Amino acid sequence: MAVAGSVVVIFLFVISILSPWIAPYDPSAINLKKVLVSPSVNHIFGTDQLGRDIFSRMIWGSRISLKVGFVATGISILIGAILGALAGYYGRWVDAIIMRFVDIMLCFPSFFLILAVIAILEPSIWNIMIVIGLTSWMGVTRLVRADFISLKERDFVQAAKIIGAGDFRIIFSHILPNAMASVLVAATLGVAGAILTESALSFLGIGVQPPTPSWGNILTAGKDNIDIAWWLSLYPGLAILITVLGYNLLGEGIRDSLDPRLRD
């Protein structure tokens, strides 16, 4: 299954890198003679209300998903790993403050927090990536903290202390590499989550703004034409589903292969 997951992920990478060459049409070329054409040989996923080719828009949309997934997750992993490491390593009041902060952040329905921030800032792709990243680090923090609490008692950490290694070195070059398994799993699953969130935001019209194609904003057109053009709703959602499934499978696979103890 992990193989299937990585095939999907690699496939998506290839598509998004090659999108200018594989997309049969210009994704933003408006053709008013071909408005809402149902799927056919020329337009295998049909066209939208402006006559744009959905297949081409979806190929270009894969770039957005990839970008949002990786940047947002990068931000959340960075924050989560640092805060989790500090909390787990130092314990006491550092731990208390960081973990209360986690509790507070978890009180906010994350979608509410994202929307409120987007309402203030402009809904651009960069803002969305940052906001998704800033609201999704809490799980990583907890994971890394738990790893640090158990790892810091191990002999190799004691040994490092005895030879006089500083806290910084112990945290980043001795303990953190040993906590990478759970971070990597959390990152893979995090990409899936970020892609889902971005598509929901774009669907609501507060994410990636048209004419830039994203899977979520094609679905908005699907909702607007729900009674006449089912293809606008079906295909982009399937793409999201398969992508998220791919990352989830890959994450589970990494979990099983890197650290058998993490298996349920």
Smallest distance, other proteins to C-beta of residue 157, A: 30
Indicate which single residue of 31, 139, 230, 256 sits in contact with other proteins (rule: CB under 8 A).
230
Using CB under 8 A as the binding criterion, the count of chain residues that bind other proteins stands at 45
Helix (H) or strand (E) holding 157: helix 155-162
Q: Which stretch binds other proteins (CB under 8 A): 16-24, 142-150, 173-181, 196-204?
A: 196-204
Subset of residues 103 to 142 that bind other proteins, contact rule: CB under 8 A: 103-113, 115-121
Q: Which is nearer to other proteins, 146 or 206 (CB)?
A: 206
Q: What is d(CA 128, CA 185) in angstroms, rounded to the nearest whole number?
A: 23
Tell me which amino acid residue 181 is: A
Here the tokens at position 264 are 């349920």
Nearer to other proteins, 50 or 234 (CB): 234
For other proteins, which residue of 2, 28, 101, 146 counts as binding (CB under 8 A)?
Answer: 101
Helix and strand totals (H; E) in the chain: 11, 0
Which among 50-58, 100-108, 141-149, 178-186 is the span making contact with other proteins, rule CB under 8 A? 100-108
In whole angstroms, how close is the CB of 180 to other proteins at the nearest point?
A: 24
Answer whether 194's CB lies under 8 Å from 132's CB.
Answer: yes
What is the spatial distance between Cα 79 and Cα 142, in angstroms, rounded to a whole number?
A: 11
The CA distance from 255 to 1, in Å, is 12
Give the interface segment with other proteins, choosing from 29-37, 155-163, 177-185, 234-242 (CB under 8 A).
Answer: 234-242
Residue 178 Cβ vs other proteins, minimum distance, rounded to whole Å: 26
Where b means 16+ CB within 10 Å and e means fewer, 205-215 reads: ebbbebebbbb
What is the distance in angstroms between the CA of the first residue and the CA of the last residue of the chain? Answer: 16
**Could you please report the per-residue DSSP string of 160-182?**
HHHTT--HHHIIIIIIHHHHHHH
Among 50, 79, 165, 234, binds other proteins (CB under 8 A): 234
Interaction site with other proteins (CB under 8 A): 100-101, 103-113, 115-121, 192, 196, 199-200, 203-206, 219, 222-223, 226-227, 230, 233-234, 236-237, 240-241, 244-245, 248-249, 264
